[in-house]
Amino acid sequence: MAHSLKEVGFEVRQPAQEHSFVPDMWQRLSKPDVLIFLDVDYTHFQQRRPINDGGPDYLVEQYRRLAHAQRHCDFYLNTSGLDVEEVKTAVFKFLQTHFK
């Protein structure tokens, strides 16, 4: 998604918030104009990233660390069951309405 946004001129940052123990690190590092939160369930996570699978406990810990960002996001999208084009379409549709 970041690559697609950069291609059309957006400045994109992906802070490694899931590795941080500081809940608002995303605000401190990037101060975004818009925060987009893309989510996925464990089953689809395994399908997309089988090599990076740290087990369900790993994903639960990531959810815990990202909870602050999720609560403050401008756009939340559960990508489970969506293909890449569907995710792009949803994000671009949001951005078009946000930046009118």
Residues 1 and 78: their CA atoms lie apart, in Å, by 14
Split into its structural domains, the chain has a count of 1
Measure the CA–CA gap between 17 and 46, rounded to whole angstroms.
20
Q: Is the pTM of this model over 0.85?
A: no
Report how far residue 96's alpha carbon sits from residue 55's, in angstroms, rounded to the nearest whole number.
36
Per-residue pLDDT for 94 more than 60? yes
Distance CA 32, CA 48 (A): 27
Q: Quick one: CA dihedral 91, 94, 97, 100, positive or negative?
A: negative
Supply the range of the domain harboring residue 32. 2-98
pLDDT digits (tens, 9 = 90+) for 22-44: 667 666 667 788 999 999 988 88
pLDDT given for residue 85 in this prediction: 96
Residues 6+ apart with CB under 8 A from 21: 65
